[in-house]
């Protein structure tokens, strides 16, 4: 029985990459990582609340957003693109949608960083229960600009294709 538990543990516990095992993070890097994690989560919160002017300020002056509906550079262009994209998704309790952001992996090198995370976008389905509309990952380049971490480039990759649960009710397999 002990051998089974050991084998199970070895196959389910992630092993840190070699680089992560060689040098522990400094206190400053840990603070930077936490600030970047807050940036990643703020992205979803501000977008879901349709606070698009604040959302656009998460991007550096030359920040770029690249995703399924185009590529946009500068906070003003990114804000305009999001206003257009979310025009059909009003932020009210009856048609509320939201992002769930998970599994952030962040590496800091001075005033630059990279991050990778997963995202899932939910909408209310026909029964008003949360339904996944699309899911994927973010691949980020970050920069410290004016003392704050910002997106220099955010690439949004959809791994699970778009499906609007408001239009096509999901049928459970039997």
Regarding pTM above 0.85, the answer is no
Among candidate residues 54, 73, 71, 53, the one with its CA nearest the CA of residue 63: 73
pLDDT at residue 172 in the model = 37
- The span from the CA of 67 to the CA of 156, in Å, is 5
pLDDT tens for the 174 residues of the chain, in order: 444 433 433 443 344 454 445 578 889 999 999 999 999 999 999 998 889 999 999 999 999 999 988 999 999 999 999 999 888 766 665 567 889 999 999 999 999 999 999 999 988 887 888 888 899 999 999 999 999 999 999 999 999 877 665 565 444 343
Which sequence spans correspond to the domains of the chain?
A: 26-160
Alpha carbon separation from 138 to 13, 37, 94, 153 (Å, rounded): 23, 13, 28, 10
Structural tokens at position 2:
């002990």
pLDDT at residue 161 in the model = 78
Among candidate residues 144, 152, 153, 101, the one with its CA nearest the CA of residue 122: 101
- The span from the CA of 93 to the CA of 144, in Å, is 36
Question: Which CATH number fits the domain 26-160, given the four candidates 2.60.40.10, 3.10.450.50, 3.30.499.10, 1.20.140.10?
Answer: 3.10.450.50
pLDDT at residue 163 in the model = 67
Alpha carbon separation from 45 to 29, 49, 52, 101 (Å, rounded): 24, 6, 10, 10
pLDDT at residue 9 in the model = 36
CA 37 to chain centroid, in Å, comes to: 10
pLDDT at residue 167 in the model = 60
- The span from the CA of 105 to the CA of 128, in Å, is 33
């Amino acid at each position: 029985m002990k051998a089974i538990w050991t084998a199970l543990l070895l196959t389910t516990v992630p092993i840190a990459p070699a680089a992560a095992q060689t040098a522990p993070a400094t206190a400053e890097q840990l603070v930077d990582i936490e600030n970047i994690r807050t940036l990643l989560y703020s992205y979803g919160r501000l977008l879901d609340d349709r606070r698009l002017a604040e959302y656009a300020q998460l991007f550096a002056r030359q920040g770029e957003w690249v995703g399924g509906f185009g590529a946009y550079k500068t906070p003003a262009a990114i804000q305009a693109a999001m206003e257009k994209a979310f025009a059909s998704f009003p932020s009210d309790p009856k048609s509320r949608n939201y992002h769930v952001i998970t599994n952030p992996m962040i590496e800091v090198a001075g005033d630059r960083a990279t991050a990778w995370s997963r995202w899932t976008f939910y909408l209310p389905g026909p029964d008003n229960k949360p339904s996944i509309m699309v899911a994927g990952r973010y691949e980020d380049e970050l920069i410290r600009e004016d003392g704050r971490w910002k997106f220099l480039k955010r690439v949004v990759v959809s791994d699970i294709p778009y499906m609007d649960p408001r239009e096509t009710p999901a049928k459970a397999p039997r």
